[in-house]
Homo-oligomer: A and B are copies of this chain.
Amino acid sequence: MLDKKQCMTSAAPAPFANWMLDTNDVTRVFLAASQIPDLINIAGGLPDPSTFPVQKISEISARVIRDHPNETMGYCAIEGLPALRGAIAARYSTTTLKLTAENILITTSGMQGLELIGKALIDPGDLIAGQFPTYLGALDAWRPRQPRYRNMDVHALDFDATHEIQGAKFAYTVPNFSNPTGQLVGAQRRQELALAAAETGTWLVEDDPYGTLNYDGSLPSSVLALSAAQLPSRAYDGTCVYLGTMSKQIAPGLRVGWAIASKEMIKALTLAKQGSDMCTSGITQLITLEAMNSGLIEDLQPNIVDLYRKRRDSLCAAMTEHLSDWFDWDTPEGGMFVWAKARDKRLDTDRLLTLAMEEKVCISPSSVFDALGQHRSAIRMNFTFNSEEKLTVAVQRLARATKRLIEETE
């Protein structure tokens, strides 16, 4: 006779949702890298912890909790603290970009901004026009909504913005030093995107985590600003949704970001956020506000930019010495990454990752940035986290791995 308890406990658990079958687990492959001694990891996208203003944030946190106990320790409004929403609105407002607190939603990290856009706009099968290769996290955020993707190559000579975004629920672009390619979308293309979004009614998601990491020159206007310039007489009500984050300006641990959009879109994102985490911590929101108001962000900026510019230059110098036989790349004007494309398109960078890990260096193969599966022969290298010396050693190791790959395929 069957033991009833055993019988009962033997039922298989109900299955997970369908989207989970389709997921990548490369992030956890990378996490394994942290277990290998002496490995140099240039695969990730981490800031250098030496840039964190530890003492200042420590003091600010104690002060804002003490001085604002209800705002920090109670529930906040779903949309965020009014004062922080107002400060973000003021920071981005110009004579033609008119923003009030109602145009702002505070998000629990830039990632949550992406997730909320997916929740608010995507039904299964809806189309996203994306600039591939693209940010891995955006694909993660939208996968549970089961969208379709179409490539939108904003750098193509024959780019036709209206044609590219027509029929999509939204277009996704990272105009400032795109992850992974580091490329800047020029002023003309930004203007075309802003006009096409208005013409078609397609939402245009402008993700800007890297705009402040700008090493060589001034930036073109944001797509949001160009969108607003079409109707400068009123509060912003266009179809651009701009996403910002404190992760690269102060520290990722705050998990504070923001969306800037029409009031209508902010209401929709708020409804989505209500069911995601109800509200962002008042502690981290008030730390952010105080860091903005005290000028801390502006104080930090020059040092961060100088540090990362030097590291970018060291990485590129080492690449010129050790990798230029096999790869092409453009020196990025900003951001956190160099994108190197193999001259020989048959070079499999997934396989290169395996050999590179054996040589104790970890890079990101292009496959992970591509929902469309078209990019298999490029790599992304981060230059913000490691010292100049380590970056040079990393490139030497990668050159050894590349040599081995070439030899094993010949």
Contact = CB atoms under 8 A, between A and B. Distances in A.
A316 interface: no
A88 to B, nearest CB: 18
Contacts of A168: 14
Q: Is the interface of A mostly helix, strand, loop or mixed?
A: helix
Interface string A267-309: 0100110111111111110010000000000000000000000
A144 B272 CA distance: 8
Interface string A51-74: 010110111011101100111111
A69 B54 CA distance: 6
A86 interface: no
A239 to B, nearest CB: 5
B62 A201 contact: no
Given A62-B58, A66-B55, A253 B282 contact: yes
Interface residues of A, number: 97
Choose among A119, A137, A282 the residue with the greatest number of B CB atoms under 10 Å from its CB. Answer: A119
20 contacts: A8-B230, A9-B231, A13-B265, A14-B201, A17-B121, A17-B122, A20-B120, A20-B271, A25-B271, A31-B77, A58-B61, A59-B62, A73-B254, A74-B253, A75-B252, A111-B278, A124-B124, A144-B272, A144-B275, A255-B280
Interface of A: 5, 7-9, 11-14, 16-18, 20, 23, 25, 27, 31, 46-47, 49, 52, 54-55, 57-59, 61-63, 65-66, 69-78, 108-109, 111-112, 115, 119-124, 126, 137, 140-145, 168-170, 195, 198-203, 230-231, 238-239, 250-255, 262, 264-265, 268, 271-272, 274-284, 287
